[in-house]
Amino acid sequence: MAQHRGLTGQSIALVAVFAGLIAASTLVPEVTLVGGVPITLQTFAIVLAGLVLGAWRALAAVTLYVLLGLVVPVYANGAVGLAVLTGPTGGYLIGFILAATVIGALAQMLARRGVLARRGVAAVSLIGVGLVSIPLVYAVGVPWLSWRLGVPILPAGCTSITDADCVSGLTIGVLPFLPGDILKVVVAGIVAAAIHRAYPGLLGSARAVTAASSPVTDETDEGARTTA
Amino acid sequence: MISLLGIYRPRRTPLHRAPVWFKMLLLVGMSITCVVVSDPVTSIGITAACLLLLASTLPPLKATLKGMGAIVVIAILTTLFQLWRGDWVRALDLAGDIIAIAALALAVSSSTSMGAMLDFVTALARPLRWLLPPETIGVMVSLTLRAIPEAAQILTESRVAARARGLDRDPRAILIPTASRTVGFALDLGQALHARGIAEHGRSAREATSSAAPRDDAAGRVLAEPPLREAHHDEGDTDASLASSPRRSRRSRR
Residues B167 and B239 occupy one common structural domain: yes
Residues B140 and B234 occupy one common structural domain: yes
Any domain includes B26: yes
For the cut 70, the answer to whether the pLDDT of residue A9 exceeds it is yes
Residues B193 and B146 occupy one common structural domain: yes
Domains, chain A, in order of start with CATH, read 7-208 (1.10.1760.20)
Residues B81 and B26 occupy one common structural domain: yes
For the cut 50, the answer to whether the pLDDT of residue A126 exceeds it is yes
In percent, how much of chain A has pLDDT > 70? 67
Mean pLDDT over residues A94-108, rounded?
92
Residues B89 and B155 occupy one common structural domain: no
Ranges A135-144, A175-184, B151-160, B242-251: which has the least confidence: B242-251
Contact A31 B97 (CB under 8 A): no
Residues B104 and B144 occupy one common structural domain: no
- Residues of chain A with Cβ-Cβ distance to B172 below 8 Å are 187, 190-191
In percent, how much of chain B has pLDDT > 70? 73
Q: Total domain count for chain B?
A: 2
What pLDDT is attached to residue A204? 67
- Residues of chain B with Cβ-Cβ distance to A41 below 8 Å are 155, 175
Which of B83, B112, B141 is where one domain is finished? B112
For the cut 90, the answer to whether the pLDDT of residue A100 exceeds it is yes
Beta-carbon pairs below 8 A across chains A and B: 244
Predicted confidence band at A77 (pLDDT cuts at 50, 70, 90)?
low
Any domain includes B147: yes
Minimum distance, in Å, between the CA of residue A114 and any CA atom of chain B: 21
Q: Which of A3, A17, A26 has the highest number of chain B CBs within 10 A, making it the mutation to test binding with B?
A: A17
Q: Give tens-digit pLDDT for B89-122.
A: 878 887 888 788 888 888 887 888 777 877 787 7
Residues B93 and B156 occupy one common structural domain: no
Minimum distance, in Å, between the CA of residue B252 and any CA atom of chain A: 40
The residue with greater pLDDT, B23 or B87, is B23
Which of B77, B112, B147 is where one domain is finished? B112
Contact A195 B183 (CB under 8 A): yes
Q: What is the DSSP letter of A32?
A: E
Interface residue B34 vs chain A (CB under 8 A): no
What pLDDT is attached to residue B155? 87
Residues near B6 by Cβ (< 8 Å), separated by ≥ 6? A71, A72, A73, A80, A81, B63, B109, B114
Query: Chain B window 79-98: which residues touch A at a Cβ cutoff of 8 Å?
Result: 81-82, 84-85, 90, 94, 97-98
Q: Are B200 and B135 in contact (CB under 8 A)?
A: no
What pLDDT is attached to residue B184? 92
Any domain includes B177: yes
Which of B46, B81, B112 is where one domain is finished? B112
Minimum distance, in Å, between the CA of residue A117 and any CA atom of chain B: 17
- Residues of chain A with Cβ-Cβ distance to B204 below 8 Å are 1, 4
Mean pLDDT is highest, among A46-50, B76-80, B222-226, for: A46-50
Any domain includes B138: yes
Contact B81 A87 (CB under 8 A): no
Minimum distance, in Å, between the CA of residue A99 and any CA atom of chain B: 19
Q: Which of B167, B175, B229 has the highest number of chain A CBs within 10 A, making it the mutation to test binding with A?
A: B175
Any domain includes B6: no
Interface residue B62 vs chain A (CB under 8 A): no
Mean pLDDT is highest, among A11-20, B191-200, B215-224, for: A11-20
For the cut 90, the answer to whether the pLDDT of residue B77 exceeds it is no
- What rounded mean pLDDT belongs to chain A? 75
Predicted confidence band at A122 (pLDDT cuts at 50, 70, 90)?
confident
Minimum distance, in Å, between the CA of residue A79 and any CA atom of chain B: 6
Residues B173 and B70 occupy one common structural domain: no
Q: Are A80 and B68 in contact (CB under 8 A)?
A: no
Any domain includes B118: no
Minimum distance, in Å, between the CA of residue A209 and any CA atom of chain B: 8
Interface residue B76 vs chain A (CB under 8 A): no
The residue with greater pLDDT, A89 or B229, is A89
In percent, how much of chain B has pLDDT > 90? 4
Residues B105 and B136 occupy one common structural domain: no
Any domain includes B122: no
Interface residue B75 vs chain A (CB under 8 A): no
Mean pLDDT is highest, among A17-31, A54-68, A72-86, B192-206, for: A54-68
Ranges A172-181, B91-100, B135-144, B244-253: which has the least confidence: B244-253
Angle between helices B134-164 and A9-27 (to 10 degrees): 50
**Least CB–CB distance from B151: residue in A9, A17, A78:** A17
Minimum distance, in Å, between the CA of residue B242 and any CA atom of chain A: 28
- Compute chain B's Rg from CA coordinates: 24
For the cut 70, the answer to whether the pLDDT of residue B158 exceeds it is yes
Residues B136 and B79 occupy one common structural domain: no
Any domain includes B24: yes
**How far apart are alpha carbons B75 and B82 in whole angstroms?**
11
Residues B133 and B232 occupy one common structural domain: yes
- The range of the structural domain enclosing residue B159 comes to 129-246
**How far apart are alpha carbons B169 and A95 in whole angstroms?**
29
Q: Give tens-digit pLDDT for A187-226.
A: 899 999 999 888 887 886 444 444 444 444 344 444 444 4
Considering only alpha carbons, which residue of chain A is nearest residue B83?
Answer: A164
Residues B166 and B223 occupy one common structural domain: yes
- What rounded mean pLDDT belongs to chain B? 72
Interface residue B130 vs chain A (CB under 8 A): yes
What pLDDT is attached to residue A78? 53
The residue with greater pLDDT, A209 or B39, is B39
The residue with greater pLDDT, A69 or A207, is A69
The residue with greater pLDDT, A218 or A32, is A32
Q: What is the ipTM of this complex?
A: 0.76
What pLDDT is attached to residue A64? 87
Contact B144 A64 (CB under 8 A): yes
Q: What is the DSSP letter of A80?
A: -
Whole-angstrom distance between the N-terminal and C-terminal Cα of chain B?
Answer: 50
The residue with greater pLDDT, B201 or B158, is B158
Q: Give tens-digit pLDDT for B161-204.
A: 988 998 877 888 888 999 999 999 999 998 888 888 776 544 44
What pLDDT is attached to residue B217? 43
Q: Are B158 and A28 in contact (CB under 8 A)?
A: no
**How far apart are alpha carbons A218 and B226 in whole angstroms?**
32
